[in-house]
Amino acid sequence: MKPAPFDYMRPDTIEEACAILAEAGGGATVIAGGQTLMPLLALRMSQPFILVDLSRITALRGVTRIAEATRIGPMTTQNDAIADATLQSRLPLLVQALRHVGHHQTRNRGTIGGSIAFGEPAAESPAAAVALGATLELRSVRGVRTVPADEFYLGPYATVIEPDELLTAIDVPDWPADSVPLFREVALRPGDFALVGLIGSIVLESGKIARASLAWFGMGATPIKARRAEDALIGQSPDSLQPALIAELAIAETDPFDDHHATADYRRTVGQRIFTRTLSEALGIRQAA
């Protein structure tokens, strides 16, 4: 199908974009890379009066270093982020996750910020933002505020962004270079949304787990932080860990759903398995078969 008619606007600056959103009073929709929104427009599931295209706002693109963090411009495309030297060295886990977003062709236009702001519960980028402890900067004509990624999601496709606000920066704090990455997803085909996905990072200090951050995707209405499992990991040494027990804690916090691809039970079963396996492999724990 074809999109319903709309007014198309292409501001050059963040200020202009915020002014348009304020003026529109909720009638405007922002288009970033469009790789999710364009299908919704074509299917007429989204019918905005005004489409605000961010593609010419150069201030929203690129990767820079700020104090103890990496600032990612939300309009940075997924493929540009994957190829970015700073992200490759500072945030290899994010780069790994982005390789699973859509297909090569959609990653050429799809943006990190678009995906984070859209809030598909089975998508990789929102869970990566939560797991890595990112802070999201939101701007409007009313001012600027920052929201931690794990307080950003309210439900499927629902976030705390107000209709007049724009996501203007994604700040990801530094993780030690020797952090242990955890990433695994189960999808029907490469490029499909995850049926079950897990992403996280663990920091070891003198043989003990000092920091752990783990998030599920595709396992509920939003990305889900596995807080009880994180707490159980802190202070432990990998040899004394029982990954299957930690996995049980992690699964207990999920709330997966049935759909035409998989049942909630299937997701829980597979989630438990991939958690156990991913944690064991990451920490070099031998598992009894």
Partner 1 sequence: MSDHRIELTVNGQTRSATVEGRRTLSDFLRIDAGYTGVHVGCEHGVCGACTVIVDGRAVRSCLMLAVQADGAAVTTVEGLAAPDGTLHPVQQALRDAHGLQCGFCTPGIVMTLAALTSDEKKPGAETLLGAMSGHICRCTGYQGIRKAARALAGEDV
Please provide residue 125's backbone torsions phi and psi, each rounded to the nearest 5 degrees.
Answer: -65, -45
Beta carbon of residue 70, minimum distance to partner 1 (angstroms, whole number): 24
Q: Are 202 and 209 in contact (CB under 8 A)?
A: yes
Q: Please identify, using beta-carbon distances, which residue of 36 and 135 lies nearer to partner 1.
A: 36
Q: Please identify, using beta-carbon distances, which residue of 33 and 243 lies nearer to partner 1.
A: 33
Q: Please identify, using beta-carbon distances, which residue of 44 and 145 lies nearer to partner 1.
A: 44
If phi over 0 gives left and psi between -120 and 50 gives alpha, with beta otherwise, what is residue 193? beta
Q: Which is nearest to 35 in space by CA: 98, 113, 111?
A: 111
Beta carbon of residue 194, minimum distance to partner 1 (angstroms, whole number): 15
Q: Please identify, using beta-carbon distances, which residue of 1 and 66 lies nearer to partner 1.
A: 1
Q: Please identify, using beta-carbon distances, which residue of 43 and 141 lies nearer to partner 1.
A: 43
Which uninterrupted H or E stretch holds 203? strand 194-205
Collect all residues with Cβ–Cβ distance below 8 Å to 143 and sequence separation of at least 6: none
Q: Which of 67, 177, 178, 189 touches partner 1 by CB under 8 A?
A: 189
Structure tokens at 161: 């962004």
β-strand partners of 166: 139
Q: How far is CA 112 from CA 54, 105, 173, 217, in A?
A: 13, 15, 16, 16
191 lies in the binding site for partner 1 (CB under 8 A) = yes
Q: Which of 46, 78, 106, 213 touches partner 1 by CB under 8 A?
A: 106
Chain position carrying tokens 């931690």 = 148
Determine the interface stretch with partner 1 among 66-74, 127-135, 184-192, 213-221 (rule: CB under 8 A): 184-192
105 lies in the binding site for partner 1 (CB under 8 A) = yes
Beta carbon of residue 265, minimum distance to partner 1 (angstroms, whole number): 28
260 lies in the binding site for partner 1 (CB under 8 A) = no
Beta carbon of residue 124, minimum distance to partner 1 (angstroms, whole number): 15
Residues 1-60 that bind partner 1 (CB under 8 A): 1-10, 34-35, 38-39, 41-43, 51, 53, 55
Name the DSSP class of 48: -
